[in-house]
Amino acid sequence: MKKVLIGIAIGLAVIVLTVLGIVGNAAGWFVSRSVDVVKQQADPQTLLTRYEWFKDASASLDSLKATIGTFQSNADSMEASYKGVPRNQWASTDSRQYNQWLSEISGTKADYNELAAQYNADMAKINYKFCNVGTLPQGASEVLPRSYRTYIDQ
């Protein structure tokens, strides 16, 4: 009877140690993977690449806004020069140019909105939160906008 109890105790000990080994191994794998992900996301090269993307996107958004303003100014100027004249009586070259500017304005607004949406979505991601804390990188003179929420719809 004593030998049976000892056998059962040893069997239970083996089962418990096996289960603990499996659980410990799985937990170690998750911890190891978590550490790998943190190392990758916090790598200085990764952070610099992300910062540079945001800086480039911000400059592109500013450029797109300026381009929209230029096309709109040209269209407004032509429209003012034909004030009171129906569009069907404009010179054909002017009418085509005016339509081209309106088309360019629409396309540029669409490009702006698409890039602004990407900028906003990426800035909101948890692994991009580095942009919202700390100091600016050496040589940077201004903080990046946290979002470009003002989409252009008209």
pLDDT in tens, 70-80: 999 999 999 99
CB neighbour list of residue 75: distance below 8 Å, 6 or more residues apart: 98, 101, 102, 105
Same domain, 115 and 150: yes
The Cα-based distances of 128 to 89, 121, 150 in angstroms read 54, 10, 21
Residue 139, pLDDT > 90, answer no
Same domain, 34 and 110: no
Alpha-carbon radius of gyration of the chain: 31
Tally of structural domains, the chain: 2
Contact status, residue 40 vs residue 46, Cβ threshold 8 Å: yes
What is the pLDDT of the chain when averaged over all its residues? 79
Domain, as residue range, for 67: 44-154
Q: Which residue has the higher pLDDT, 67 or 133?
A: 67
Same domain, 106 and 142: yes
Strands (E) in the chain, as ranges, are none
Q: Is the pTM of this model over 0.75?
A: no
DSSP 135: P
